[in-house]
Structure 1
Amino acid sequence: MPNLRFVEPADDASLEDWRHVHNEIIPADPLSLDDVRERVLRNRLEVAYLGDVLVGCSTVRPPADGTATVIARILPAHRGQGFGGRLYERGLEQARGLGAETIETIVLGTNPDGLAFAHKRGFVEVERYVAGVDEIWHTLRLS
């Protein structure tokens, strides 16, 4: 499998790469660079590159009441190559290292690849909510 490089975004260029992936995968909730600058202060963010090519990003929300949220996003052109699994495993390791007893993920309903990815890894839906016109979000918990 090709070598992925993982970067914790700390400068505007890497924060912009994280934002780009997020906004492409989650167009219903676009973030500005300032939004991402704030988000990196409270969550663990990573950007994945294949060489210098942007592949995806991840978010680990630290545990609250024992539950952490792990989200892996892979750009469509790079799906099906194992990159999402590697990014997810890194996030899972980080969440457990932060003391998480339960792992959840959140997937926008218009992302069937993301839902399939979560189900293949043992996540089951625990909540569904609507946050806009036809914008259904699925909260899934690792069983």
Structure 2
Amino acid sequence: MSELRILAVSEGPTADDWRHVHNVIIPADALSADEVRERIGRNRLHVAYRGDTLVGCTTVRPGAVATVIVRVLAQYRRQGIGRQLHAMALAEARALDAERVETIVWASNVDGLRFAAAHGYAEEVDRYLPDGEDVPYITLRRA
């Protein structure tokens, strides 16, 4: 098993890979290349590879209440990748002086909800149902 390689997202292949992971895990909110470029400007985005294989991505939205989102492709879950990505993203949020940390999980992502709970995101602070959607997004605060 090769080591996890985590790269900051910029224009080009890393942005395409970040978009791919996002769109596979959240197909109801698929993003365009332009939307990813906009997110690069306001968030900290990373992609993760095991060897040359894309396995996941992260988003850190800076602020007093930072949002940390970890996504791991289904076939690579339960191998410690999410734990490593979460530790890196959480450290980045703390380095940005976040007073609190939250995450957002699509309610139909049962693995994501379990992962969040296992990593201390226990307090539900919001549910958001986008127009025309049937499944809400849940915002959870880390204790």
Structure 2 residue runs without a partner (length 5+)? none
* Over 2 Å off, 4+ runs: none
Q: Give distance in 1, aligned partners of 2:117 and 2:2.
A: 25
Q: Give distance in 2, aligned partners of 1:130 and 1:109.
A: 10
When the two structures are aligned, how many residues end up with a matched partner? Answer: 141
Partner of 1:78: 76
Read off the aligned partner of 1:26 and give its amino acid letter. Answer: I
Where 1:56 maps in the other structure, the secondary structure is: strand
TM-score by length of 2: 0.95
Partner of 2:128: 129
TM-score by length of 1: 0.95
Read off the aligned partner of 2:112 and give its amino acid letter. Answer: G
Q: Give distance in 1, aligned partners of 2:34 and 2:86.
A: 25
Read off the aligned partner of 2:66 and give its amino acid letter. Answer: A
- 1:33-44 paired onto structure 2 within 5 Å: 33-44=33-44
Q: Pairwise CA RMSD of aligned residues?
A: 1.0
Structure 1 residue runs without a partner (length 5+)? none
- 1:1-143 paired onto structure 2 within 5 Å: 2-63=2-63, 66-124=64-122, 125-131=124-130, 132-143=132-143
Where 2:27 maps in the other structure, the secondary structure is: coil
